[in-house]
Amino acid sequence: MTTDVEKRDAVSQRTAATPTLAPHSDVPSGHKEPAGRVGGGLFDAKQLVKSLPEALRKLDPRVMAKSPVMFVVLVGSVVTTGLAVKDPSDWFGWAITAWLWLTTISANLAEAVAEGRGKAQADTLRKAKTDTVARRIMGKNEERVPGTELKIGDLVVCEAGDIVPGDGDVVEGVASVDESAITGESAPVIRESGGDRCAVTGGTKVLSDRIVIKITAKPGETFIDRMINLVEGAARQKTPNEIALNILLASLTIVFLLAVVTLKPFAIYAGADEQTSVIVLTALLVCLIPTTIGALLSAIGIAGMDRLVQRNVLAMSGRAVEAAGDVSTLLLDKTGTITLGNRRASGFVPVRGTKEAEVADAARLSSLADETPEGRSIVVLAKEKYGLRERHQGELAHATWIEFTAQTRMSGVDVDGRKIRKGATGSVIAWVEKQGGTVAADTRELTDRISQAGGTPLLVAAEDDKGARVLGVIHLKDVVKDGMRERFDELRRMGIKTIMITGDNPLTAKAIADEAGVDDFLAEATPEDKMALIKREQAGGKLVAMTGDGTNDAPALAQADVGVAMNTGTSAAKEAGNMVDLDSDPTKLIEIVEIGKQLLITRGALTTFSIANDVAKYFAIIPAMFAVAYPSLDKLNIMRLASPESAILSAVVFNALIIIALVPLALKGVRYRPMSAHKMLRRNLGLYGLGGLIAPFVGVKLIDLLISLIPGIG
């Protein structure tokens, strides 16, 4: 019996552990390959070939109209194609047309590549879906029905080897479950009734024991179904920031369109009509409007969600990812989030006149029949820390086990003429006094000290030939997960305030908060208190993120701007949040915030580059168009381009190539480094603003030199 208890506790402790992720890496250390993860790099040839048909389908004007900038490029491509067909001998018209179509297709290809990786992930997830037969409980009997016929509220039985037929909560029993089809984690997890680790997902496999599951999702609306829809892009709505940027880009496009249209009458008046043909004006328009960011904007947003999926986090919308980049306050539920969730034995404290080993042995004996996490941890601690030998079955054959009840608040064992009890302080003291024994004078002092440190004291007492007496105290404590303090230090450097919320008393809450290193805490918190705290922070103009796993966290998860529910948590928590962490690692919020900030920085950096790029291209085309009519404009031809045709064609070619060159950056994202907004703006202007100005001068000149080598041009 002893061996079974200890093995079970060891499994429980291993499966409760969560990996610690590296804060500054593209793929965190210890990071698993999530379900559906697609390899092959950012921009491999196979992915390009698979995405090309989708890019061509996106040439549908109804699709292109969603991006005003690229819609104008499409219209320009169609117009120049018509003019080129009208005059087949016009090599310049055909060259401009070809590069405009390449510009349009490149923009669609960037989006198709990003979406293609999500669809590939969805295909892998579909393989995890199996047509299962469920053992549904009907009264006192069981019936076998297809999993697709289950309804919300049905009770089903799963035993070792069974596939869970649908999403639900464990209402009876405890079992080891293989969730590798969902999370990619090969190690099994423990799912049990009555706590925040009761949720099971359809498609996972029960490895041991027997559990009864209450179905919480309709067929077709399970967690895997939602994952498939999310990674395929069904819920990728434009965020407010993205909508605002689209409006800006549309406004710039209209302004440049009006400006280009007015050039024609000015050219006629100046006698430069030949230099301002419709093809030239179309090329000018395409080069001046912000085509670079317009082409990459959608891919940036899709790639941001894709990076979350690579880290085993599902975001319900792009809005949640973007909001994560602006989070300034983080609320964390203590139990199961900051701590492992179960109180565990951390030490045995003897009263005066008793040895520590005697307390450990008595505590261990009285816990052998205690199947609670606390009881199992006492057995393991006594063996591992104090080196107590194992008890053989023969030694305990005649033992009488005293089970814990809510009335006695004690458990124990009667063996070898001894009576051993452990339990709540008041109950054990009352038992000792009832047996006519004595309570050591320092007993109350020891229990108070443990309570003030945020722990839970359990007394151990025995009755033998020495009479009934208290032996010592077991110190139970809620164990803080490894690496939490370092994580909170990292969040502090990112400018994020951390607040722990718990239902514990203030003394316990303060002890855990100090050990974990959070900035503040809210003790004895009710769901209403959590909601009120979030609303106060939001009223101050702050964006709030909340992580949690319990049903009592659901209202706060719904109120928060970013609600990250743990996959090990209840169905209510996962429904309320707008993100689900498949690894159930609350410290991963750092990666989520970094990805959100990375998305915003990437969008801002490429917008800066695009606008600066357009300014530089202005100096390539305008002087070439009007230098004949106004020789003084030749002073603006600072690149000394070979000819008007070469200048215009070089600008159009560069415009197309720069989009292709920036696709990997849009998909991977600009690397995030913690810094102030002022420094970040200065960095963007210096790197991407200045780079956007310089790149066209270099690129257009090089292309012009190559074009001028072609016979008949120059």
Binding residues: 370, 374, 404-411, 422, 549, 553
- For residue 258, count other CB atoms closer than 10 A to its CB: 9
DSSP 311: T
Residue 536's contacts (CB-CB under 8 Å, 6 or more residues apart) are: none
Take residue 622 and report the two structure tokens written for it.
């305008």
Q: CA of 245: how far to CAs of 40, 252, 290, 348, 608, in Å?
A: 31, 11, 11, 62, 12
Q: CA of 664: how far to CAs of 50, 147, 660, in Å?
A: 17, 43, 8
209 is catalytic: no
Binding residues for ATP: 370, 374, 404-411, 422
Q: How far is it, in rounded angstroms, from Cα 432 to Cα 451?
A: 21
| Whether 645 contacts 662, CB under 8 Å | no
Take residue 7 and report the two structure tokens written for it.
């093995």
Burial of 186 from C-beta contacts in 10 A (0-12 / 13-18 / 19+): exposed
Q: How far is it, in rounded angstroms, from Cα 406 to Cα 89?
A: 95
CA-wise closest residue to 460 among 450, 474, 447, 443: 474
Binding residues for Mg(2+): 549, 553
Backbone angles phi, psi at 414, to 5 degrees: -110, 115
Beta-bridge partners for 641: none
Q: Which amino acid is at 274?
A: E
- For residue 426, count other CB atoms closer than 10 A to its CB: 11
Q: How far is it, in rounded angstroms, from Cα 496 to Cα 520?
A: 12
Catalytic residue among 167, 196, 306, 333: 333
Q: How far is it, in rounded angstroms, from Cα 323 to Cα 319?
A: 6
| Whether 461 contacts 447, CB under 8 Å | no
Kind plus residue range of the DSSP H or E element containing 575 = helix 571-576
Beta-bridge partners for 400: 414
| Whether 342 contacts 329, CB under 8 Å | no
Residue 150's contacts (CB-CB under 8 Å, 6 or more residues apart) are: 134, 136, 156, 165, 166, 215, 219
The residue to which tokens 């106004």 are assigned: 630
Q: How many CA atoms lie within 13 A of 417 on its CB side?
A: 4
Take residue 229 and report the two structure tokens written for it.
């829809």
**Residues labelled catalytic:** 333
